[in-house]
A = this chain, B = another copy of it.
Amino acid sequence: MAFEGQTNQSAFILASGWVCSYKLMPGGTRQIVDFQLPGDFLGLRSVLFRTADHNIEPVTKVEASEVLASDLLSTFSRTPRLATAVLWAASRDEAMVVEHLVGIGRRDALERTAHFLLELGARLKLVGLGTKNGYACPLSQYMLADALGLSAIHVNRVLRELREGGLVTFQRGQVTFHDFDRLVAIADFDRAYLDHDGPLLA
């Protein structure tokens, strides 16, 4: 089965049995992202990106038929540019949603907020709208709350804690990192899932 970070996977279609895909947190807890049921596709992103961004594990005995990675890739090489770009975008989106899911399921408010601010920063830096020191952020604390699955009031408390800890500042539409490394450590932030630029767009 596929493990995080591993490379050169294959993809499958589940014929019978159940499989689950999950992520492990540093504390040893895990968040299951999805269950694969018979008929479901399995391991798609790990072929397209040549790296698995989560683990999978059988729940029951399973039977699956393999879809050769080479078939998949050759199919896409004969496919219009736009179509592969679309698929790539969709997969990147899904990876982000997955990360978001894990954050909400298994991180407390502080870690979750820190992670979120870091992720936004990383994405903005990719398009030249942010630096290692911070970025302009038009969000209100209410929006942050809706994104993080928290109440606005608690978001405020958490932001204060981050501020008083000398970690980040979220004020007047500006996010400023004051201790980037410590923040990354708190959030257990790993930006790998953002720099997918797999084989498809070569």
Contacts and interface: CB of A to CB of B under 8 A. Distances in A.
Contact of A34 (B71, B89, B100): B100
A96 interface: yes
How many copies are assembled?
2
User: Quick one: which of A60, A86, A91 has the most chain B CB within 10 A?
Assistant: A86
A37 B199 CA distance: 24
A94 interface: yes
Contact of A97 (B33, B38, B41, B149): B33
B39 A127 contact: yes
B97 A87 contact: no
A59 B139 contact: yes
B72 A105 contact: no
B124 A37 contact: yes
Contacts of A84: 83
A117 B86 CA distance: 32
Nearest to A71: B82
Contacts of A91: 90
A195 interface: no
Contact of A129 (B38, B87, B100): B38
A91 B79 CA distance: 18
Contacts of A180: none
Interface string A70-93: 011001101110111011011101
Interface string A13-35: 00000101010000001111111
A104 B4 CA distance: 23
25 contacts: A31-B149, A32-B143, A34-B93, A34-B97, A35-B120, A35-B147, A37-B124, A39-B127, A41-B89, A41-B90, A44-B86, A44-B89, A44-B90, A72-B86, A79-B80, A83-B84, A86-B87, A90-B94, A93-B94, A94-B94, A94-B97, A97-B97, A100-B101, A101-B101, A106-B149
Given A35-B139, A86-B87, 6 more contacts: A37-B123, A41-B90, A41-B93, A79-B83, A90-B90, A104-B149
